[in-house]
Amino acid sequence: PESSIGSSQSNVKHTKKRKYQSSETLEPNLNSIRQNDCEVSYAPKQPQDKVVSFFSNMGETVKNFPEDVQIRVKREVFKIVNDAEELVYNNIVKDIKVESFE
């Protein structure tokens, strides 16, 4: 036969005593919470650069494309930006060279 030693469960319930704060101690806490909420909700928002916002939104759109399309889009966008960067650089260098001969 099976032994019942150690297999019985105790039906004793453990209760915790709750500590209640008086309304005098609760009120300052509620006021500080309300004040903190107001400070956070009314904090001025920094305007985001329009170009950064544009590319961020484009990224959100492109991330839903299949991976092969994402790769092509990134390549084409990189090429466009790189070409523009090169154009700006060449114009700056050209302007510097012209100024140095004057």
Examine residue 93 and state whether it is found in any structural domain, yes or no. Answer: yes
What pTM was computed for the model? 0.47
* Residue 97 counted as domain residue: yes
pLDDT tier, 95 (very low <50, low <70, confident <90, very high otherwise): confident
Which tens digit of pLDDT belongs to each residue from 48-58? Answer: 799 999 999 99
Q: Is residue 70 part of a domain?
A: yes
Q: What percent of the chain has pLDDT over 70?
A: 51
Q: Is residue 13 part of a domain?
A: no
The arithmetic mean of pLDDT across residues 74-96, rounded, is 92
In a domain, 17, yes or no: no
Q: Domains in the chain: how many in total?
A: 1
**Distant-in-sequence, close-in-space partners of 85: CB < 8 Å, separation ≥ 6:** none
- Structure tokens that stand for 40 in this block: 């956070």
Three-state SS string over the chain comes to: CCCCCCCCCCCCCCCCCCCCCCHHHHHHHHHHHHHHHHHHHCCCCCCCCHHHHHHHHHHHHHCCCCHHHHHHHHHHHHHHHHHHHHHHHHHHHHHHHHHHHC
What is the residue range of 45's domain?
23-101
Reply yes or no on whether the pLDDT at 10 is more than 80. no
Which tops the pLDDT comparison, 44 or 84? 84
